[in-house]
Structure 1
Amino acid sequence: MPETIATARWRALDREGEDKCRLARVENGFMLVGHARFRDGAGWAALDYVVRLGEDWRTLSADITGECAGEPVAWQFTRTGGDWTFNDAPVPDLQDADDIDLAFTPATNLMPLRRLPQVGRLDTTSAWVRLPGPTMSVLSQSYTRERGNYVHYAAAESDFETHLSVDEHGFVRDYPGLWERLDE
């Protein structure tokens, strides 16, 4: 039986929307289970996601189901070693990515944040999944703990950087201009 470690709920700041998820301990690792509902340029989306993580906080697989802009979504991502598949088809462009980064939720920042040392920097690569589509590409990310629960975040391919406030579990509290936590 999964043991809940923490829950989080966010409000989108750049569009109408919200997201909520639960982090649970399961046999041989962890699991993120969430639901994102939002409206963007393509219309309304309601997406459920389940991300399975190893003991090392790296992504093993992710399932995303629901609806986006009136179209059904049923996506499965799997990582075996450094190889990724999308709905059972190999995706060589994502080779060696440690995690999945679902652009529609702040929940997937959790994995690198859990691996981030108390003092220092973590450079990692994620399989960046964006809507519509999905559009998939590699995203090189760096997380630098500046003090306590404040982390500098940068993503090279999107030329984006910001400062995140995070909680003791690794969930983002404040993602300036994009997300804010509601349940604290």
Structure 2
Amino acid sequence: MTGKTVATITWRALYCEGQDTCRLARADHGWLLVGHARFHDDDGFAALDYVVRCSEDWQTLDADIAGTHGEMDVRLHIDHRNGEWLLNETPQPGLKDATDIDLSFTPATNLMPLRRLAKQQDDTLTTRAAWLRYPAATLAPLDQTYKRTQTYGVIDYRAEQTDYTTTLEVNDAGFVTDYPGLWHAEDQHVPL
């Protein structure tokens, strides 16, 4: 699992003690997000490594999450094939129209819809994500809307199922740099 790194970022968590470091790499037939999330929560210390594989047009193909959280070993494989989402080979219902994965413990997975938004003419992108509501080992639908504002690099965001709205700041690579109350970029390298 190699690729040419095109951008890196490190976020500091604002809702708990933690950080996440991620790299975006160009692979032979698409893109890779490779990250390392470390945080403390009510279940203890979490050390989660993740890899998300995407097609050339930023559609999620699959994802792996591995590590530890408190006393628990974490090993999750998420596969998106033939319009179906599987979590550790178990079909997940209600996700037929989902094109993205959303890993709840990292802002990294906002990148895919943000990259698609940057490539389209319309100012609004509405998409359905397969939402891993970690630490639960299930996927649920999450309908998301990303809308360009008049200010470069500022995106209005809404998640329908949680009735959550905010304004995101985004860098040229498509990574969120400020996710109010949740994440803030501490270091980033975007040599695009």
Same fold by TM-score, threshold 0.5 exceeded? yes
Unaligned runs of 5+ in 1: none
The structure 2 residue matched to 1:153, chosen from 152, 157, 167, is 157
1:82 Cα offset (Å): 1.6
SS of the residue corresponding to residue 114 of structure 2 reads helix
Runs of 4+ in 1 over 4 A off after TM superposition: none
100-109 or 114-123: bigger deviation: 114-123
125-134 or 159-168: bigger deviation: 125-134
110-119 or 100-109: bigger deviation: 110-119
Which whole-Å CA distance do the structure 2 matches of 1:118 and 1:110 have between them?
A: 18
Q: Retained in 1: the 8 A contact 2:87–2:139?
A: no
1:134 Cα offset (Å): 2.0
What's 1:179 paired with? 183
How many residue pairs were aligned?
Answer: 184
Which whole-Å CA distance do the structure 2 matches of 1:95 and 1:38 have between them?
A: 32
The answer on 1:69 being equivalent to 2:73 is no
SS of the residue corresponding to residue 97 of structure 2 reads coil
RMSD: 1.2
What's 1:144 paired with? 147
1:6 Cα offset (Å): 0.3
The answer on 1:4 being equivalent to 2:8 is no
Which whole-Å CA distance do the structure 1 matches of 2:81 and 2:97 have between them?
A: 10
SS of the residue corresponding to residue 110 of structure 1 reads helix
Amino acid of the residue matched to residue 126 of structure 2? D
Q: Output the TM-score relative to the length of structure 1.
A: 0.96
SS of the residue corresponding to residue 109 of structure 2 reads helix
What's 1:98 paired with? 99
SS of the residue corresponding to residue 187 of structure 2 reads coil
What's 2:42 paired with? 41
Amino acid of the residue matched to residue 66 of structure 2? T
The answer on 1:168 being equivalent to 2:169 is no
What's 1:133 paired with? 136
What percentage of aligned pairs have identical amino acids?
Answer: 52
Report 1 or 2 for greater relative contact order, CA contacts < 8 Å, sequence distance ≥ 6. Answer: 2
Amino acid of the residue matched to residue 42 of structure 2? G
Q: Retained in 1: the 8 A contact 2:92–2:138?
A: no
SS of the residue corresponding to residue 151 of structure 1 reads strand
Unaligned runs of 5+ in 2: none
Which whole-Å CA distance do the structure 2 matches of 1:40 and 1:156 have between them?
A: 25
1:94 Cα offset (Å): 2.1
Which whole-Å CA distance do the structure 2 matches of 1:24 and 1:48 have between them?
A: 15
Q: Retained in 1: the 8 A contact 2:20–2:35?
A: yes
Which whole-Å CA distance do the structure 2 matches of 1:42 and 1:134 have between them?
A: 15
